[in-house]
């Protein structure tokens, strides 16, 4: 498999990333890069800031080398008539011309929507501050690769004041909640394919809590919260939600479990390969071809949905597994949904 080349588009200005640092948070591009590095350590990942004229001009000349593009979140607002916003929209339009596969989170979704002819607005139902409750998958969302093992209803990290008002033509709505109708979209611009989420599967709740604490004074001044006590109660509710959401569950949109047959054939619906019998979960090259813990209907159902066919899954605790994969087989299966999106 060729080395994966990805471009991450940083949504925030350098000045705003200093504020993130003051809150104890890394820039959002670095957060995405960390996740991508975990999944595919050998990938080539570049970061670009469209506001930086020198940086963007060099990237534009080499856009064709990237397998895909990730657009991060931002504190910029699409209703602001400023050069920073305009540069992001123009860069997205340039990316569309290069027939790219694009993944956008929060601001990243909104920018691609605007660049594709849709509209965004200040969310009339109010903001998400660190958390979005009870996001519901649509019928299309339940069948979509990005949500193949996601619950039909879920709560997740989110932080946004704006929302998509009118999606691009022929967009597929994948998920909604009471605040934002367009929580997840899939659409095309020419031959460029875009998957966009209004929320942040890549950001943990602790990161959100740091931002809330750092922005407390400003949010009270803007009447987002009445007082500090209300903020403290909100943080407590997020802490409680954190206990109900494991790391793996939070980033399902970024991870899809890989499975492997005992004969050593990788099988994954997104990669387009097929196999009729599956045993165990792949994790850093380790697996078991012996079913010590028996058939698990729940896991089988989950993988059946993901793979589009019945499976017979043998559940194995990998910590107790000594069997290793044939050395002729790559030790790491691309589990990240974004990466598989780019490579399919």
Classified as helix, coil or strand, 37 is: helix
* Per-residue pLDDT tens over the stretch 122-179: 999 999 999 999 999 999 999 998 887 788 999 999 999 999 999 999 999 999 999 9
Note whether residue 107 is domain-resident: yes
More confident residue, 32 or 282: 32
Flag whether pLDDT at 318 surpasses 90. Answer: no
* Per-residue pLDDT tens over the stretch 54-85: 778 889 988 989 988 999 999 999 999 999 99
Distance (Å, rounded) from C-alpha 213 to C-alpha 216?
5
Q: Do 168 and 202 belong to one domain?
A: yes
Q: Do 19 and 164 belong to one domain?
A: yes
* Per-residue pLDDT tens over the stretch 269-311: 222 333 333 333 333 333 333 333 333 444 444 444 444 444 4
Per the structure, the count of domains in the chain is 2
More confident residue, 244 or 94: 94
Annotate 106-134 with b (16+ C-beta within 10 A) or e (fewer).
bbbbbbbbbbbebebeebeeebbbbbbee
CA distances from 143 to 28, 42, 80, 81, 291 (A): 29, 31, 36, 38, 29
Q: Is residue 132 within 8 Å of residue 126, measured between CB atoms?
A: no
Q: Do 205 and 188 belong to one domain?
A: yes
Distance (Å, rounded) from C-alpha 320 to C-alpha 287?
10
What's the whole-model pTM score?
A: 0.75
- Among 239, 254, 269, where does a domain finish? 254
Distance (Å, rounded) from C-alpha 330 to C-alpha 137?
34
Distance (Å, rounded) from C-alpha 321 to C-alpha 289?
10
The structure tokens 């942040």 sit at: 200
More confident residue, 340 or 114: 114
Note whether residue 289 is domain-resident: yes
Q: Using alpha carbons, select from 335, 219, 338 the residue that is nearest to residue 282.
A: 335
Q: Indicate which CATH number applies to the domain containing 104.
A: 3.40.50.880
Q: How many CA atoms lie within 13 A of 321 on its CB side?
A: 24
* Neighbour count for residue 302 (Cβ, 10 Å): 17
Contacts of 73 (CB under 8 A, 6+ apart): 11, 12, 28, 105, 106, 107, 108, 159, 160, 200, 203
Residue 145 gets which letter from DSSP? G
Q: Is residue 36 within 8 Å of residue 45, measured between CB atoms?
A: yes
More confident residue, 75 or 41: 75
Q: Do 46 and 182 belong to one domain?
A: yes
Distance (Å, rounded) from C-alpha 165 to C-alpha 163?
6
Q: Do 285 and 314 belong to one domain?
A: yes
Distance (Å, rounded) from C-alpha 70 to C-alpha 37?
14
Q: Using alpha carbons, select from 131, 137, 167, 171 the residue that is nearest to residue 151.
A: 137
Q: Using alpha carbons, select from 344, 338, 304, 263 the residue that is nearest to residue 7.
A: 338
Containing domain of residue 323, as a range? 257-333
220-245 average pLDDT score? 93
Q: Which residues pair with 47 in a beta bridge?
A: 8
319-335 average pLDDT score? 30
Q: Do 115 and 127 belong to one domain?
A: yes
- Among 237, 254, 271, where does a domain finish? 254
* Per-residue pLDDT tens over the stretch 98-128: 888 899 999 999 999 999 999 999 999 999 9
What is the Cα 344 distance to its own chain's centre?
A: 17
- Among 254, 280, 297, where does a domain finish? 254
Q: Do 308 and 235 belong to one domain?
A: no
DSSP readout, 247-314? HHHHTGGG----EE-TT--EE-TTTT---S--EEE-BTTB--SS-SS-B-HHHHHHHHHHHTS---PB
Distance (Å, rounded) from C-alpha 207 to C-alpha 20?
10
Note whether residue 250 is domain-resident: yes
């Amino acid at each position: 498999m060729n080395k994966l080349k990805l471009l991450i588009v940083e949504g925030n200005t350098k000045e705003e990333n200093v504020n993130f640092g003051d809150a104890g948070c890394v820039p959002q591009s670095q957060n995405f890069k960390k996740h991508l590095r975990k999944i595919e350590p050998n990938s080539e990942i570049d970061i670009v800031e469209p506001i930086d004229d020198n940086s963007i001009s060099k990237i534009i000349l080499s856009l064709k080398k990237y397998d895909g593009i990730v657009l991060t979140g931002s504190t910029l607002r699409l209703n602001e008539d400023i050069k920073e916003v305009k540069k992001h929209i123009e860069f997205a339009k340039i990316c569309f011309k290069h027939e790219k596969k694009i993944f956008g989170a929060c601001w990243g979704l909104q920018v691609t929507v605007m660049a594709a002819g849709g509209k965004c607005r200040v969310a009339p139902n109010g903001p998400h501050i660190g958390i979005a409750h009870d996001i519901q998958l649509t019928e299309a969302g339940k069948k979509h690769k990005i949500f193949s093992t996601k619950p039909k209803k879920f709560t997740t990290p989110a932080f946004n004041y704006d929302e998509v008002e009118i999606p691009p033509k022929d967009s597929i709505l994948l998920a909604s909640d009471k605040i934002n109708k367009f929580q997840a979209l899939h659409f095309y611009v020419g031959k460029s394919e875009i998957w966009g989420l209004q929320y942040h599967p890549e950001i943990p709740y602790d990161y959100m809590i740091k931002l809330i604490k750092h922005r407390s004074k400003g949010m009270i001044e803007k009447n987002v919260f009445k007082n500090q006590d209300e903020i403290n109660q909100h943080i407590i509710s997020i802490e409680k939600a954190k206990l109900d959401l494991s790391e793996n569950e939070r980033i399902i949109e970024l991870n899809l479990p890989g499975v492997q047959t005992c004969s050593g054939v990788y099988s994954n619906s997104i990669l387009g390969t097929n196999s009729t019998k599956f045993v165990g979960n792949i994790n850093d090259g380790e697996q078991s071809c012996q079913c010590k813990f028996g058939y698990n209907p729940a896991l089988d159902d989950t993988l059946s949905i993901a793979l589009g066919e019945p499976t017979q899954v043998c559940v194995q605790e990998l910590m107790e597994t000594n069997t290793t994969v044939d050395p002729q087989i790559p030790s790491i299966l691309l589990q990240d949904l974004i990466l598989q999106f780019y490579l399919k």
